[in-house]
Amino acid sequence: MLSNFKKFFKKNKRRSTAPIDPDEIFIDSENLPDFDTDQFEGRIERPIDKNVFTLVAFFIVLIGTVFIYRLWDLEVIRGQAFRDRSDSNNLQKTVIIAPRGVIYDRNDAPLVWNAINRESSDFSLRVYLPSAGLSTILGYIKYPTKDSKGLYYQDQFEPKDGLEKIYDEKLSGKNGTKIVETDVKGNIISESVIEPAKNGENISLSLDIKLQKKLASSLLDIAGRAGYKGGAGVVMDIHTGEILAASNFPEYDSQVMTDGSDNKKIASWVNSGNHPFLNRLVDGLYTPGSIMKLFVAMGVLNEHVIDPRAVILSTGSISVPNPFFPDKPSVFLDWKAHGYVDLRQALAVSSNVYFYEVGGGYKNQKGIGIASIEKYAKMFGFGTTTGLYFPGEKAGTIPSPAWKAKNFNGEAWRVGDTYNTAIGQYGFQVSPMQVVRAVSAIANEGTLVTPTFIKRPEADIAGSFEPSSRNFVSNGRLDAQDDLGTETINLDQSFFKIVKEGMRLGVTEGTSQALNFPFVEAASKTGTAQLGISKDLVNSWVVGFWPYKEPKYAYAIVMERGSKNNQFGAVLVMMEFFDWLHIYAPEYLK
């Protein structure tokens, strides 16, 4: 069996090494199979070159090496740094606070504007024109405020007073947004604006800053010389109601209040008994004194109480019986004996006796009575607000029997009360803005305009108006309205002329002679109101208009709580003002 196996092995071994006959390899060309050579059928297969494998392996190793190195760099070499940055950085969506609009005067001089904030780029700083006597008119703002984490919980400028508050809707603009990346310390690394802020709109006031500064300095100058504790003044266009100058003293400083940096000074204002936060023009109420004789005179003429040419003798006082003490008559004093005066002269020299008699009646002279005094005072805008768009405006008081009964435990009204009311004393309370409006109605002969701090479009040549919630400032001017806000006083035009003649006589011969200038014809009326029980302090008034023949502007000045013995009254404020106009702004005297 073993021998058979060996034979078989040898036989097969010979076959495996024997040469192959060519006929076994090559096939007759006539017998070629139907191969698809494009699909490599019938082709002899060859192995891939070893260099290809070497090249692929090289690239795999190279890419792997780069990847491993980069991974090592990120995770090991700089891993802690990236971790710290990730933990420390913060992406926030934050506000871009829109700058407020600029406030200009009537000639485009800036009164309030914006400046670069070097401490924070989040919002601009608000800058107020210094030393212009405008703080209680312009007001002030509070800046946007952050919490302890640096997030704005108040992202708007917050107006606190004055025109900044009244016109905030237009001045505010619209905030934008941005993405800010900060580190753990709050330092900004990068930022990207998503929506830009829209600036607030500008507004143009009716004020002329040149006149404004001079009026303010004149008020302070006379107050300093005479010791007045406060005061206010206003100059207004009698046809449009545009306020050209308006000042208060004492007053706070808008810049200090906005910046909030001087706490000591702010505290002194808050605790001051002179009320520096009071806007005396509209919120201040004063006993008017003899300036009310202008409006009592209009009532006397319209009620035909006396012929304006008829005279009354002023010996310095009148006496009326005292029902409680017959041997002690009530004496009502004039400030001096004027002799015989008619209505024009009584206005010029400010005769109390004349107005006692035509107001309350005396002996054979009929008086218009308290009811008519109240009627004509209301007709000229007293006892109510002026329509000026300024929240907080006071209506004032016109004394009457009902008012006395309410405020003095039901006491009856007496003729002496009428006498005192006729000369602007007793319980009369008026604001400077009411007074300048009423005087304007005399100057323009019967139109009560509405005062405004906004420059009106030049196309509107009559009347006055103020913005409402639907009709606010646009592009620095007010949009026109059908209702111009004026009221007509239907009295005989001759009566206005008579009173105006008395005011002009007051400048040429009477109590306003300090205003008798060769370069302007002014018409004026002074007033002195005694204060308190001892009457040691007085309010000094001067009101009027110019030019006399073709009036354009009216004024009202009050100096508050000065000594009754001083020789410096409100009329000297206007004297300084007119002198300055003549040299520096003569266009206003034409």
492 plus 553 within the same structural domain:
yes
CA distances from 304 to 216, 299, 367 (A): 42, 8, 10
Peptide bond into 250 cis (omega under 30): yes
CATH code: domain of residue 123: 3.90.1310.10
Cβ-Cβ contacts under 8 Å for 390 (sequence gap 6 or more): 166, 279, 282, 453
Residue 459 binned pLDDT confidence (cut-offs 50, 70, 90): very low
For residues 386 and 451, what is the distance between their CA atoms, to the nearest angstrom?
7
341 plus 462 within the same structural domain:
yes
438 plus 464 within the same structural domain:
yes
- Burial category of 484 from C-beta neighbours within 10 Å (exposed 0-12, middle 13-18, buried 19 and up): middle
pTM of the model: 0.79
Cβ-Cβ contacts under 8 Å for 143 (sequence gap 6 or more): 123, 126, 157, 258
Residue 81 binned pLDDT confidence (cut-offs 50, 70, 90): low
172 plus 288 within the same structural domain:
no
337 plus 475 within the same structural domain:
yes
Q: Which H/E stretch holds residue 420?
A: helix 415-422
184 plus 130 within the same structural domain:
yes
Residue 82 in any domain: the answer is no
470 pLDDT more than 70: no
166 is in which domain, residue-wise?
91-145+159-204
Instruction: Provide the number of structural domains found in the chain.
Output: 2
326 plus 353 within the same structural domain:
yes
Write down the mean pLDDT value for the chain: 84
Closest CA to 503 of 527, 528, 470, 535: 527
Residue 67 in any domain: the answer is no
Residue 57 in any domain: the answer is no
Beta carbons of 560 and 286 less than 8 angstroms apart:
yes
198 plus 295 within the same structural domain:
no
Distance of CA 191 to the CA centre of its chain: 34
Cβ-Cβ contacts under 8 Å for 458 (sequence gap 6 or more): none
Residue 7 in any domain: the answer is no
254 plus 313 within the same structural domain:
yes
Residue 120 binned pLDDT confidence (cut-offs 50, 70, 90): confident
Specify which residues 51 forms β-bridges with. Answer: none
Four-point Cα dihedral 403, 406, 411, 415, nearest 10: 0
Residue 398 in any domain: the answer is yes
Helices 293-302 + 432-443 axis angle, to 10: 40
Mean pLDDT of 468-483: 34
What is the three-state SS of 143-156?
CCEECCCCCEEECC
For residues 121 and 127, what is the distance between their CA atoms, to the nearest angstrom?
16
CATH code: domain of residue 398: 3.40.710.10
For residues 540 and 528, what is the distance between their CA atoms, to the nearest angstrom?
5
Provide the pLDDT for residue 69. 73
Beta carbons of 94 and 180 less than 8 angstroms apart:
yes
Provide the pLDDT for residue 484. 55
Per-residue pLDDT of 436-446, as tens digits, reads 999 999 999 99
Closest CA to 139 of 174, 168, 169: 168
Longest dimension (CA), the chain: 185
Residue 153 in any domain: the answer is no
273 plus 324 within the same structural domain:
yes
Q: Of 168-182, 235-249, 348-362, 381-395, which range is least confident? A: 168-182
Report which of residues 353 and 96 the model is more confident about: 353
For residues 542 and 570, what is the distance between their CA atoms, to the nearest angstrom?
6
395 plus 496 within the same structural domain:
yes
Residue 73 is classified by DSSP as I
Structure tokens at 510: 């009477």
What b/e sequence results for 444-483 when a residue is b if at least 16 CB atoms lie within 10 Å of its CB, and e otherwise? bbebbbbbbbbbbeeeeeebbbbbeeeebbeebbbeeeee
Residue 350 binned pLDDT confidence (cut-offs 50, 70, 90): very high
Per-residue pLDDT of 35-78, as tens digits, reads 565 655 556 566 767 777 787 777 788 788 877 877 776 666 66
Provide the pLDDT for residue 165. 94
Per-residue pLDDT of 213-223, as tens digits, reads 999 999 999 98
190 plus 244 within the same structural domain:
no
Residue 394 in any domain: the answer is yes
Provide the pLDDT for residue 477. 31
Cα four-point dihedral sign 564, 522, 388, 406: positive
Residue 58 in any domain: the answer is no
What b/e sequence results for 528-547 when a residue is b if at least 16 CB atoms lie within 10 Å of its CB, and e otherwise? bbebeeeeebbbbbbbbbbb
Closest CA to 177 of 198, 160, 150, 163: 198
Specify which residues 132 forms β-bridges with. Answer: none
| Per-position DSSP letters for 525-580, written without gaps between them | EEEEEEETTT--EEEEEEEEEESSSS--EEEEEEEEEEETT-S--HHHHHHHHHHH
6 pLDDT more than 80: no
